[in-house]
Amino acid sequence: MIDLTGKNALVTGIANNRSIAWGIAQQLHQAGANLGITYLPDDKGRFEKKVWEVVEPIKPSLFLPCNVEDDAQIQSVFTAIGEKWDKLDILIHCLAFADKDGLSGDFSSSPRQTFSKALDISAYSLVALSGAAKPLMTQGGSIVTLSYLGGVRVIPNYNVMGIAKAALEMNVRYLASELGPLNVRVNGISAGPIRTLASSAVGGILDMIHHVEKTAPLRRTVTQTEVGNTAAFLCSDLASGITGQVLYVDSGYSIMGM
């Protein structure tokens, strides 16, 4: 079995109990990792309360606010990790956002601000978090991010997020190249569509899921647990030779031409 005992893992991107990030956190915990969790702070503290309710059973040793649009919050997270943990081994990046006007209609009508905000939150944040994690990953490490097929092929309405995922996947390669000599591996998981808070807000997601159920080789969608198991593998010594890759966890959907 996958063994992550003695490893410290920071997981970003949990919004509720359907989040892919929660599937990953649970599998890392099951493999014996010590967890830190970040949440998106809001003025009413709703997310903090919600995310805490979700993660409470796995007893995270760190629970920190982190809005990746704010450099100071990113720095605070890694300062806290440096004070609490002897080293950081694992960084899980499950963050994405595009305004609604970047997720439907004519792609050529995407507003500049929507485009730059989506790239900032969904792609630049991996660069910023990896740069802040680098000095703490003193015994090597593993960084895993979540991507989607819409970053390499045209998926209707994915629009601005597709460009953000393309940038994210290229970030994986540049970061893998830089951090490889430190024995820090950087990989992505391209997950098939799953019903989550983020995807449920998207019109037509159920039709997409039905399409996958009809056409993917496995004739079903993937689960958060399956993505979590792949992340646990990538973070383990079993994946010691894998870096700069994007692994598809999509029931095989992406191999089909028709």
Of 47, 52, 63, 97, the one binding ligand 0WE (CB under 6 A) is 97
Residues ≥6 apart with Cβ < 8 Å to 163:
115, 118, 119, 151
Q: Which is nearer to ligand 0WE, 148 or 233 (CB)?
A: 148
248 is catalytic: no
Binding flag, residue 103, ligand 0WE (CB under 6 A)? yes
Binding flag, residue 201, ligand 0WE (CB under 6 A)? yes
Of 100, 153, 211, 219, the one binding ligand 0WE (CB under 6 A) is 100
* Site size toward ligand 0WE, by CB under 6 A: 16
DSSP 38-79: EE---TT-HHHHHHHHHHGGG--SEEEE--TT-HHHHHHHHH
The Cα–Cα gap between 159 and 8 comes to 35
From the list 148, 174, 248, 253, the catalytic residue is 148
Of 155, 166, 182, 242, the one binding ligand 0WE (CB under 6 A) is 155
Binding flag, residue 199, ligand 0WE (CB under 6 A)? yes
The Cα–Cα gap between 127 and 133 comes to 10
158 is catalytic: yes
Q: Are 126 and 166 in contact (CB under 8 A)?
A: no
Task: Give the other-Cβ count within 10 Å of 170's Cβ.
Answer: 12
Q: Which two tokens stand for residue 220?
A: 């079903």
Angle between helices 125-133 and 159-179 (to 10 degrees): 20
Of 8, 125, 157, 187, the one binding ligand 0WE (CB under 6 A) is 157
The Cα–Cα gap between 249 and 143 comes to 17
Binding flag, residue 161, ligand 0WE (CB under 6 A)? yes
Binding flag, residue 67, ligand 0WE (CB under 6 A)? no
Binding piece for ligand 0WE, criterion CB under 6 A, among 45-53, 92-100, 166-174, 221-229: 92-100
Closest CA to 199 of 13, 18, 51, 17: 18
Q: Which is nearer to ligand 0WE, 8 or 145 (CB)?
A: 145
Q: Are 148 and 157 in contact (CB under 8 A)?
A: no
Q: Which is nearer to ligand 0WE, 39 or 158 (CB)?
A: 158
Shortest CB 65 distance to ligand 0WE, Å? 20
Which positions are catalytic? Answer: 148, 158
- Would you tell me which residues interact with ligand 0WE (CB under 6 A)? 96-98, 100, 103, 148, 155, 157-158, 161, 193, 198-199, 201-202, 208
